[in-house]
Amino acid sequence: MPMDPEIGALLKQFGVDGPPPATPPTVAEMRAGNRMLSLAVAPDPPIEVGSAEDDTVAGVPVRVYRPAGHGLVPTVVFFHGGGFIVGDLDTHDGVCRRLCRDLGAVVVSVGYRLAPEFPFPAGYDDCVAVTTHVAGHPEDYGGGGLAVAGDSAGGGLAAGVALAFRDEGRPLTAQLLAYPSTDLSGQGGHRSLVENATGYLLTTAEVENDARLYLADDPGAAARAPASPLLADSHTGLAPAVIGCGECDPLRDEGLAYADALAAAGVPVRKHMYPGLIHGFISFDTKSTVVDAAVTEMLTEFRELLATPYDTP
């Protein structure tokens, strides 16, 4: 499949356009490489917001972004991507700053625990704990509606939190899921895992290795939610969603399948498959006009959902 040429040039610039290494990198090398690329493509200078402050919520590190001005605004709890193994508050700082600016929302970015040091459900529990705290203290944040968002592994975590809130009768206004990880079972037969196995930054082998490390203490969790939101018993009554996936992404089909599952359950969903885009594309918005247009579309739709509270059936 043809990759967006601007992204292709970017991958070549950073030397990550070739075949995967013969020897898989260590976890430390994975984290260092992810951090290097993420910080290299971040907006420079950083997007201006009203404030950005580090804090701890429910024992979990967070960074809280607030828009300029006063009054009630939505709050979005954001979970970064990285295969449950890499990523941190810094790697997605640019993403969260744009969310804050474009949505006019308070954004709470969550530094959840990572595998393999802290396998499932540690990171998921952190995400639920932070979102639950924010939901119970709206006056400390935006004061308006509450939503969740995330990319890749973070998109899967956001979907899992949305399922938990649905089951507990807690309202969420919306969810934004960028190329989410929704099926860790390896049994879904998703065609994109074969079509896009190599050549597009994230490889299928990396997806499988990340899942193995993440679920080390409970491999059976792959067959059910919340580890695999696509395999939940029911998707009825979930918050409306914007879901965007890239054509050249091993996780493309499970993300699109999740959008279809929500729609089949009567959940309002905006579903997008962006030609030429790869996994992780939302971090490349300042480097690719195609990515910028895709991110703008997703955030515009998400903002519309945030402004229109939805009563789940």
Residue 235 is a catalytic residue: no
Tell me which residue has tokens 């054509």.
Answer: 247
Mean pLDDT of 275-297: 97
Contact 248, 3 (CB under 8 A): yes
Please report the pLDDT score of residue 18 as a whole number.
Answer: 81
Which residue is catalytic, options 80, 235, 272, 279? 279
Q: What is the mean pLDDT of the chain?
A: 95
Of 185-189, 191-195, 240-244, give the lowest mean pLDDT range: 185-189
pLDDT grade for 310, boundaries at 50, 70 and 90: low
Distance CA 293, CA 126 (A): 32
Kindly state the tokens that stand for 133: 């705290």
Residue 190 is a catalytic residue: no
Each residue's pLDDT tens digit, 99-133: 999 999 999 999 999 999 999 999 999 999 999 99
Please report the pLDDT score of residue 311 as a whole number.
Answer: 55
* Residue percentage of the chain with pLDDT more than 90: 91
Kindly state the tokens that stand for 121: 């459900």
Domain ranges of the chain: 5-306
Helices 93-103 & 289-306 angle (0-180, nearest 10): 50
Residue type, 70: H
Distance CA 144, CA 309 (A): 10
Residue 80 is a catalytic residue: no
Question: Listing from the earlier edge strand, what are the strands of the sheet with 51-57?
Answer: 51-57, 60-66, 106-110, 73-79, 143-151, 174-178, 241-248, 269-278
Domain at 5-306: CATH code: 3.40.50.1820
Please report the pLDDT score of residue 28 as a whole number.
Answer: 96
> Hey, which bits of 58-209 come out as E strands?
60-66, 73-79, 106-110, 143-151, 174-178
Which residue is catalytic, options 4, 80, 133, 152? 152
Please report the pLDDT score of residue 23 as a whole number.
Answer: 86
Please report the pLDDT score of residue 22 as a whole number.
Answer: 80
Each residue's pLDDT tens digit, 188-221: 899 999 999 999 999 999 999 999 999 998 999 9
